[in-house]
Chain A
Amino acid sequence: MSFPILSIKKLNTVFHTPSGDVMALRNLSLEVNKGEVLAIVGESGSGKSTLGFSILRLIENPGEIISGSIVFHSPERDVHILDLSLPQLREFRWVNISMIFQSAMNVLNPIARIEKQFIDTFEAHNIEGDYQERINKYLEIAGLGKQVKKMFPHELSGGMKQRVNIALALSCEPSILIADEPTTALDVVVQKEILSSIMRIKDELNLTVIFITHDLSVASSIADRLAIFYAGRPVEVGSADKILRSPQHPYTTLLLSSVISLNTNREASLKTMGGSPPDLKKRIPGCSFLERCPIGEEACSTYDLFPAKVHGDVFVECIHPGKLEFEMEVNK
């Protein structure tokens, strides 16, 4: 039985720009269940990173969360993240929800030893106890040796830096870990190592992981559930197995068919998706994918966005879920 650890309701995040407000998240509702790996998959500009930043309230000017609620369900009480005061927020971050950022290379302070960066983190979040023991423990969990403590970031490879980031993110014992494209800058071999570490740690520490990525293959290799993002909203959410076997939303279908794999037919041309995502500065009536959708029709433009439940626990925002036929060579 799964129950939610994080509930996001009707969240609206905008970025104020000189040429108008960009609606990065549009009335987004999503639940994250305890102990799962939820992968958020989308192209650039779909709002996936904005969601990660919104959860931790890291959105800075010119961005703003204008409405909605994010509730963290801890065993003791429910925390309304958007209502926390700044000191409360400081206590809340990292201890309950922490984040691994995308650019492993640029997150660490280049002139401080790794040890110092841990101690800074502990002090900022009022952690007590034996710091050294704690550092050793989390370095080990992330698959690094004790000697790394005394090193500077430039002495570490990209993969090792990302492991330090993982250790730092875990060091205050959060219940939720948000990983924002943690492997994008890394090579495939290192990527696999990092993904395996995250999987292992998740089981060891009983974590909930929100994994943000643009790469459907990476997402499918570790996720229990998928949330496919398009134009600031999840268009399809549900069990990864089900979505990958029979995607219901035309966008998911096209995204899956355009994945290039080692089994792609070399003689045929690749399947593509025409057009480009809608301009988020304008109000989008109806379905946001309509312009690019091969099965779109008149009714889609007035469709009131509402996640409809199709088989089991999969929710889709589409008038004709499953209508676009899906054939994928990669699973053969």
Chain B
Amino acid sequence: MLTGRRLKEEKWLPPSNEIISFRNVDKVYKSGHTTNYALDSINFSIKTGKTLSVVGESGSGKTTFGLASLGLIEPTRGKIYFQGIDITSLDRIQKRNFRSKTHMIFQDPYSSLNPYNNIFTTVSAPIESFQKGMSKEERRNKAAEMLDKVGLSPGADFLDIYPKSLSGGQRQRVAIARSLINKPEFVVADEPTSMLDVSITSTVINLMKSLKDELNFTMLYISHEIATSRYIGDDMAVMNLGRIVEYGSPEEITKSPKHPYTDLLIRSYPKPGQKLVPGETRHGDYNVYNGGIKGCTFAYACPFKIPECENTKPELREISQGHWVACFHPIN
């Protein structure tokens, strides 16, 4: 990892197997006297064709990470590349082109669907704006076909109804159909199941996983829920206060977490059929405003803290094949 030196960014090109590459990206929110780094020098990439799950608590910057990768917010510093092209400085036509290749699935299917639009209008909106010249008949057929794919069958029967007559799980299927109808190459799903009931969560996760295999896109799955993230992800990144603190295979991270923060997350996760043992929680105070953190973002509560943690920023380093951690004293 290169930091501390000014990079000649125009000469840097991301490797070809990366669909999204973050290069020294900061996103700073200022409010009054507090400065909050929602993204703090992120150097990170998403591999083409894989599902990356990002886990973290609220305020960890995971949603900002998703929005930035779609170009929906502009980073304060740094560059973000999509298939090798810098999306922070696109002209109008490039931007349109980029938008046609990406899509987002939002958290709340009750507010992400326009109640005044019927399902056909909602689902076909992406092809209507990006595939001009298609007749209404063709769009209807395509929309119905897509609805069939997401398990709302027969799709044709759903085209003319309105969101109010759908359940939460069905609405989320509609949202998924809309996001995939234009065959995007990159999809961001931000907590797509957190508003749904347990019994429906599994069906939606199954659906997303099978559609990903069928349509072959890259997915960024953002969630605070570590078990579903582990299940759906090919890779997993753990975020804490604007930084990625651990990255690797979901299986390995959840079995043997190396960063003390990941370890805390996993230990706090309630296990079915297991009684809670009171005690062993976070030590120290949690402050979401991280403007002044020089060292490790978790130093305030880390049980293994050494003086270095307060003053030097730990960089992500590979401690075993494919397993990266930003910590001076990873857990063995």
Residues of B within 8 A of A271 (CB): 202
Q: Contact partner of B274 among A199, A220, A254, A269, CB < 8 A?
A: A220
Q: Is A331 an interface position by the 8 A CB rule?
A: yes
CA separation between A329 and B61, bound complex, in Å?
A: 33
Q: List A contacts of B216 (CB < 8 A).
A: none
User: What's the minimum C-beta distance from A179 to chain B, rounded to whole angstroms?
Assistant: 14
Number of residues of chain A lying within 8 A (CB) of chain B: 45
Identify the closest chain A residue to B193 (Cβ). Answer: A260
**Residue among B198, B205, B209 facing the most chain A CB atoms (10 A cut-off):** B198
Does B4 have its Cβ within 8 Å of any Cβ on chain A? no
Task: Tell me if B250 is interfacial: C-beta within 8 Å of chain A.
Answer: yes
* Closest chain A residue to B199, Cβ basis: A273
Query: Are B276's CB and A269's CB within 8 A?
Result: no
Give B contacts to A, CB under 8 Å.
Answer: 57-58, 167-169, 197-199, 201-203, 205-206, 209-210, 224-228, 230-231, 250-251, 254, 264-266, 268-276, 278-279, 281-282, 286, 288
The answer to whether A276 and B167 touch across the interface, beta carbons within 8 angstroms, is yes
Contacts of A221 in B (CB 8 A): 270-271, 274-276
Asked if A295 is at the interface (CB within 8 A of a chain B CB), the reply is no
Assess A258 versus B278: contact at CB under 8 Å? Given A188-B226, A189-B268, A330-B271: no
Nearest residue, chain A, Cβ from B232: A266
Closest to A42 in B: B197
B58 CB contacts on chain A under 8 angstroms:
158, 187
25 contacts between A and B (CB under 8 A): A43-B197, A158-B58, A187-B57, A188-B270, A189-B264, A189-B265, A192-B268, A192-B276, A192-B281, A195-B276, A200-B278, A214-B197, A216-B198, A221-B275, A259-B198, A260-B202, A260-B231, A262-B266, A264-B227, A266-B230, A266-B250, A270-B202, A270-B206, A276-B167, A330-B272
Interface: A132 (CB within 8 A): no
Asked if A262 and B230 make an inter-chain contact with CB atoms under 8 angstroms apart, the answer reads: yes
A187-B58, A192-B268, A218-B270 given; A266·B251 CB < 8 A: yes
- Cα distance, A159 to B288, chains bound together (Å): 13
Contacts of A192 in B (CB 8 A): 268, 270, 276, 281
Cβ contacts A189-209/B at 8 Å (1 or 0 each): 111110110011000000000
Which residues of chain A are near B281, meaning CB under 8 Å? 189, 192-193, 196
- Whether B269 lies near A330 (C-beta < 8 A) is no
Task: Tell me, yes or no, whether A157 is within 8 Å of chain B by CB.
Answer: yes
B168: which A residues are within 8 A, CB to CB? 44
Nearest Cβ on chain B to A83's Cβ, whole angstroms: 36
Within 8 A of B (CB), among A250-274: 254-256, 258-262, 264, 266, 269-273
Contact A43 B198 (CB under 8 A): yes
Q: A188-B57, A193-B282, A260-B228 are in contact. Are A244 and B202 (CB under 8 A)?
A: no
Please tell me if the beta carbons of B198 and A214 are within 8 angstroms of each other in the complex. yes
